[in-house]
Amino acid sequence: MAPGKVVICGVNTAKLPLLTNEEKNELFMRIEQGDENAREELIKGNLRLVLSVIRRFQTAGENADDLFQVGCIGLMKAIDNFDRSLNVRFSTYAVPMIIGECRRYLRDNSVIRVSRSLRDIAYKAIYAKERILREENREATIDEIAKDIDIEKEMVVMALDAIATPVSLYDPVYQDGGDTLFLMDQVKDKKNKEDNWIEDISLKEAMDRLSEREYNIIKLRFFEGKTQTEVADEIAISQAQVSRLEKSALKNMKSFLDI
């Protein structure tokens, strides 16, 4: 996607509306009553979400307009299938739907040819995964997917790998306001244990200069190898706050160590 592009599919992205959770709930209530105008308002109010998702595919060399249209299809599917009784944020439900639609588009237009039978298995696996996510609000395991579509799990893994789009650890997963969450923020670090870090006295001194909350976050993230989501649950703050505090702490430590 062209960096800094403002107009996509004739839409001035700089002027897109931003809905509050209360406004979204009100629109969903109107949609349930058959109000088509409310559906259009909800789509327009979530186009920023589509933009934040398709940015992760900018390295694929695809046209931004095409990706935006595909992302909008995923958004509309999310709106039409969202169940408010699940008590989850709409964005939490919609992001995987939009990502899935973009990945399907990229797979279908990939220069790497994948056999039809393998692609069919992959599509069945993806649909089963999305159905379980929608109905049970959780990620399905490979075993569950394989059982659901009655195919050996080795074939499911092979099919999904064959159509997967390579990503970078620095690809943005989601952006909420000024806080960008990257793929690397979701990955556990099992190598950097406490013994390896404490051997460096300078590093320990740098950590001692952190606030108590920053110190705990660094310890949980890099000593105990926990994800930002796990840290957020443990210390009862949002993942976005963990991301901010972690980056601030690492910056302060880097400044102290002069590296």
Give me the DSSP letters along 166-181: P--TTSEEEEETTEEE
Identify which of 55, 135, 51, 64 has the alpha carbon closest to the alpha carbon of residue 93: 135
Tell me how long the chain is. 259
Antiparallel, parallel or unpaired: β 172-176 and 11-12: unpaired
Per-residue pLDDT, averaged over 51-75, amounts to: 78
pLDDT at 57: 75
Predicted local confidence at residue 139, as pLDDT = 85
**DSSP, residue by residue, 201-237:** HHHHHHHHTS-HHHHHHHIIIIIS---HHHHHHHHTS
| pLDDT over threshold 50, residue 193 | no
Give the C-alpha separation, 33 to 212, whole Å: 50
The pLDDT of residue 223 is above 50: yes
pTM above 0.75, yes or no: no
Chain-centroid distance of CA 119 in Å reads 23
Paired strand residues for 244: none
Mean pLDDT value of segment 62-78: 84
Share of the chain above pLDDT 70, in %: 70
Backbone φ, ψ for residue 240 (5° rounding): -60, -40
The DSSP symbol for 165 reads P
DSSP string, 99-160: HHHHHHHHHHT-SS---HHHHHHHHHHHHHHHHHHHHHSSPPPHHHHHHHHTS-HHHHHHHH
Diameter over CA atoms, the chain: 65
pLDDT tens-digit series, residues 87-112 = 778 888 888 888 888 887 877 665 45
Q: Is the pLDDT of residue 191 over 50?
A: no
Q: Indicate the pLDDT class of residue 120, thresholds 50, 70 and 90.
A: confident
Give the Cα separation of 67 and 51 in Å (integer). Answer: 9
With the C-alpha atoms ordered 17, 20, 25, 30, is the resulting torsion angle positive or negative?
A: negative
Single out the residue of 80, 91, 171, 77 nearest to residue 126, CA to CA: 77
* pLDDT tens digits, one per residue of 158-180: 888 776 655 554 455 555 555 55
At residue 2 the predicted structure's pLDDT band, cuts being 50, 70 and 90, is very low
Q: What is the mean pLDDT of residues 70-82?
A: 88
Which tops the pLDDT comparison, 88 or 7? 88
For residue 35, pLDDT beyond 70: yes
Reported as a single tens digit per residue, the pLDDT across 124-163 is: 888 888 888 888 888 888 889 999 999 988 888 888 877 6
